[in-house]
Amino acid sequence: MKLFLDTASVKEIRTMWEIGILDGVTTNPSLVAKEGRKFEDLLREICALGVPSVSAEVVGTTTDQMLVEGRRLREIHPSIYVKTPMTPDGLRATKILAAEGTRVNMTLVFSANQALLAAKVGAAYVSPFIGRLDDQGQDGMELIREIVQIYRNYHFPTQVLVASVRHPIHVMDAAKLGADIATMPYAVMEKLAQHPLTDIGLARFLKDWEKVPK
């Protein structure tokens, strides 16, 4: 399973990249706005770290606008995946961009039928937002189960990118269901490595080691 960071912070990305557990990055307009920097400058810096998959979202709402933006974004670096919204215009743009060889991440997906359409137009990734579904009383992980099943039934190559992840249980459940990727905030990725018994155990080992004759 691939682990992505859902951030536009170069500092956060560099930290996880250097540890060696990062497979990719997803950004969105809200995350980019937090950084207060030019989008393209950020993308260039993130890609220069060597991260092999960096999703960059278009903000145009018509197919033509998405095509112009998507083509410009993909030229920035070979690691760029163009993110398009799950709308009729987004589907049309995805079909054209994918046919041109651009890897597209269809975002803002909240139903299995939307995911089916993303696969049919040739999206490389589909991004179901599970946390936002949980927030309104729907079981986000159930959507992942449905999409994984549908893609298996028809051997769609589109990868399921579990998005809007809020805590480590989301990551574990997504992995158990066989999702291809989970993208998460820095704080969630940090928690994946943590366990209080690890800290207690390490402290005890180090204390006992002091008693070993040197």
Kindly indicate which of the ranges 36-44, 110-118, 125-133, 194-202 contains the residues binding ligand E4P, using the contact rule CB under 6 A: 125-133
Residue 34 known to be catalytic:
no
Contact 13, 45 (CB under 8 A): no
Q: Shortest distance, CB of residue 186 to ligand E4P, whole angstroms? A: 12
Contact between 6 and ligand E4P by CB under 6 A: the answer reads yes
Among positions 17, 39, 125, 129, the unique one binding ligand E4P when judged by CB under 6 A: 129
Q: Shortest distance, CB of residue 100 to ligand E4P, whole angstroms? A: 22
Tokens 């990118």 sit on residue: 161
Contact set for ligand E4P, span 91-110 (CB under 6 A): 107
At residue 7, φ and ψ (nearest 5 deg) are -165, 160
Which CB atom, from 53 or from 102, has the smaller least distance to ligand E4P?
53
Contact 77, 55 (CB under 8 A): no
Contact between 12 and ligand E4P by CB under 6 A: the answer reads no
Contact between 7 and ligand E4P by CB under 6 A: the answer reads no
Instruction: Show the tokens assigned to 190.
Output: 């940090």
Q: Give whole-number Cα distances, 7 to 10, 18, 32, 38, 169, in Å.
A: 8, 16, 8, 15, 19
Among positions 28, 94, 102, 114, the unique one binding ligand E4P when judged by CB under 6 A: 28
Pairing between strand 125-128 and 159-162?
Answer: parallel
Report the C-alpha gap between 163 and 73 in whole angstroms: 21
What residues make contact with ligand E4P under the rule CB under 6 A?
Answer: 6, 26, 28, 107, 127, 129, 131-132, 163-164, 183
Q: Annotated catalytic sites, by residue?
A: 83
